[in-house]
Amino acid sequence: MIAQVLWVALILLIASSILPGQYRRHRFLIGAAGWFFFAIHWAAQPMHYIEIGDYANVVLVLAVSLFCLLVCHAMIRSYRHYESAEKILLTLTTASALGGAFYYPFAEIEVLNTFLIAVVAEQVVYILQSIKIPADLIGWDQIGINGYKITIILACTAIESIAIFLGLIFCVRASVKRTAIAFAVSVPVIYILNLARNVFVVVAYGYQWFGENSFQIAHHVIAKIGSGIALFVIAYAVLLTLPELLDAIDRLFAILRVYVRGEEET
């Protein structure tokens, strides 16, 4: 059911992004529907993260769901009051459509999902063996080390972060050179750092660096903090390269602050 909701959201967001100019006003209404279904998808995620004890992501997905509802409301208002419609909402919708079009096939199409996970698992094992740490690939998605076993899942591939940056980079108009630089300082860097993150978690868990809670501490605390810092630095580099993106983000939050406060923008 949730998978169907996700595809409906993606189709609506893409439709809102590609409709021709004469249907510009209706792009806001279609986009609002897409953001609403997107909010439903994220609101259904907390139970999964509660089950695995990842409470930071519980807060994150609930915040994302609320953000989607705010954007939905803003787009409905832009549809109703088209003379004061906010173009930045369409830019954000395009960014989400681009990111979703890249991410969701890997999330929902089994052959792509399996391929990406298998590639990452193989690369992690290769790195470990290259630095003389005995690790073996068990099956296609599991790594064995020192008698312990770790399963690589889609979240271990950094595909979500890559999709987000792809959407943001290609949703704004900029020169080919600056777009290429923004891509180079984000997507390959995220992928490489994620491999390093996986190597750290596997070794920390396999050798029980932090006792019986080694996986939770390594994965849910240290790796998550490290990933957050790395993404912040990468985002800063992208924004320096694409100041148009910073202007768009600033305008978007100015709009959303109006809805949160219940005020009329002046």
Contacts of 180 (CB under 8 A, 6+ apart): none
Three-state DSSP state, 123:
helix
- H or E stretch including 47? helix 46-51
b/e 174-192 (16+ beta carbons within 10 angstroms → b): beeeebebbbebbbebbbe
- Choose, from 68, 72, 156, 171, the residue flagged as catalytic: 156
Distances in whole angstroms, Cα of residue 167 to Cα of each of 11, 90, 160: 15, 13, 11
Reduced to 3 states (helix: H, G, I; strand: E, B; else coil), residue 63 is helix
Q: Coil, strand or helix: which one is 208?
A: coil
Burial label for 5, CB within 10 Å (0-12, 13-18, 19+), is middle
Catalytic residue among 68, 197, 257, 261: 197
Containing 144, the helix (H) or strand (E) segment is: strand 142-145
Q: Is 77 a catalytic residue?
A: no
Known catalytic residue: 261? no
Phi/psi of residue 150, each to 5°? -125, 135
Helix (H, G, I), strand (E, B) or coil at 44: coil
- Owner of token pair 């609506």: 12
> Which amino acids are annotated catalytic?
156, 197
